[in-house]
Amino acid sequence: MKPKVVVTREIAPEAVSLLRQHFSVFANQKDAPVSPRQLLQKLKGMDGAVTLTTDTITDDVLARNPQLKIVSNVAVGYNNFDVAAATRRGVMMTNTPGAVDDATADLTWALILGAARGVTFADRAVRAGRWKRWRMMEYVGQDIYGKTIGIIGFGRIGRGVARRAMGFNMKVLYASRSRASDTIEQEFRASYVDKHTLLRESDVVTLHLPLFPETRHYIGVADLALMKKTAILVNASRGPIVDEKALVRALKTGRIAGAGLDVYENEPALAAGLAQLPNAVLTPHVGSGTYATRLKMSTMAVNNCIAGLTGQRPPNLLNPDVLNTRAMP
């Protein structure tokens, strides 16, 4: 009998077809919402699961499904996984690192330029018929070329943003848990600084951090107070990294000039007043939203699942210690 695999949410159909070549597959390609209780039902009797970040895999979920061998996240982030619990219970956990790098870096730049030049505000004005004539001092934004960009989190996506900033002749500052090598700094013309220096000196601050307890509200009231009044804050990483209520107040009062957000603290809900702000550009968590990228993510996750259920080591195994806990099939 073939192993059974559930795909909890819609993914690229090509990836589902690949999965069907190996296993009995139960795929939610209609993308019907899955509650925690429904997730438990879907996992019942399954050997593997292909999940999205909306699916929370806790110790309790794993305890109720002891037959599970692997859970493959169609995402780079995995804050929806209890990896330690999975390791204890002998369940492999995987993600899709690298798949979203270029698409997310591109979207970050769309948010930067959109916020700096008031693109969405001007677009709404034209569509609503409020633009009656050209005026010299109407719909004026900020220059980006030659300014300073501060990148918090200098991993693959952060470096991708820095590479694009070179085309705008920007001074690149970065803050990260560890300093990059001299070679990397020279390649990206980037200078390592502490968080407070970056916030004070940057015209654009862009966030590229994973969500962990220590990064929740990494940007709050005190941090926003350090930024230039002309500065723009961009977040295309994880919503709770920014104290959204504090950001709304900062944008309303002119503490900072603008923001570009692709992620939110309590998605899909927004903090009160955020949607009404003319100086905020808001997109619906589409950092990886190109078909090529979503196909790559889906295929990577499926290949992780196939490897884990056919006696191989998954290419993107998050918890390699699990191989000592539970023998490979």
What's the CATH code of the domain at 216?
3.40.50.720
Helix (H, G, I), strand (E, B) or coil at 318: coil
Q: Establish how many alpha carbons lie within 13 A of residue 99's alpha carbon, considering only the half-sphere containing its beta carbon.
A: 23
- The pLDDT, as a whole number, for residue 324 is 84
Same domain, 67 and 43: yes
Q: Which pLDDT tens digit goes with each residue over 100-110? A: 999 999 999 99
| pLDDT score of 54 | 92
Q: Answer yes or no: do 94 and 106 share one domain.
A: no
List strand residue ranges (DSSP E) for the chain, in order: 4-7, 24-27, 48-51, 70-73, 92-94, 148-152, 171-175, 190-192, 204-207, 232-235, 258-261, 280-282
> Which residues, in sequence order, are CB contacts of 124 under 8 Å at separation 6+?
none
Same domain as 274, residue 235: yes
Helices (H), 169-277: 182-188, 195-201, 221-226, 244-252
Check residue 329 and give its pLDDT: 43
Does 39 lie in the same domain as 75? yes
DSSP state of 215: G
pLDDT value at position 326? 59
Q: Which amino acid is at 318?
A: L
135 lies in the same domain as 262: yes
Say yes or no: 263 and 167 in one domain. yes
Are 245 and 274 found together in one domain? yes
Task: Classify burial at 36, counting beta carbons within 10 Å of its beta carbon; exposed 0-12, middle 13-18, buried 19 or more.
Answer: exposed
Average pLDDT for consecutive 10-residue bins of the chain (329 residues)? 96 98 97 94 97 96 97 94 96 96 98 98 96 94 97 97 98 97 97 98 97 95 98 97 98 98 97 98 97 98 98 97 70
Q: Alpha carbon of 57 to those of 39, 74, 223, 247, 281: distances in Å?
A: 9, 13, 33, 30, 32
Q: What is the pLDDT of residue 328?
A: 44
In three-state secondary structure terms, 139 is coil
Residues 208, 198, 284, 93: what is their CA dihedral angle, to the nearest 10 degrees? 20
Distance (Å, whole) CA 323 – CA 202: 45
Together in a domain, 14 and 147: no
- Whether 23 and 111 share a structural domain: no
Quick one: 130 and 273 in the same domain?
yes
- What number of other Cβ atoms are within 10 A of residue 285's Cβ? 17
Check residue 268 and give its pLDDT. Answer: 94
* DSSP state letter for 75: S
Q: Are residues 127 and 255 in the same domain?
A: yes
CB atoms within 10 A of CB 213: 6
Same-domain check for residues 238 and 217: yes
* CB neighbour list of residue 104: distance below 8 Å, 6 or more residues apart: 157, 160, 236, 287, 288
Predicted pLDDT at 1: 87
CA atoms within 13 Å, Cβ hemisphere of 166: 11
Q: In which domain, by residue range, is 154 found?
A: 101-282
CA dihedral 141→137→228→162, nearest 10 degrees, is: 20
Return the active site residues. 238, 267, 285
Predicted pLDDT of residue 238: 95
- CB atoms < 10 A from the CB of 54, how many? 13
Give me the amino acid identity at 164. R
Looking at the 3D structure of the chain, how many domains does it have? 2
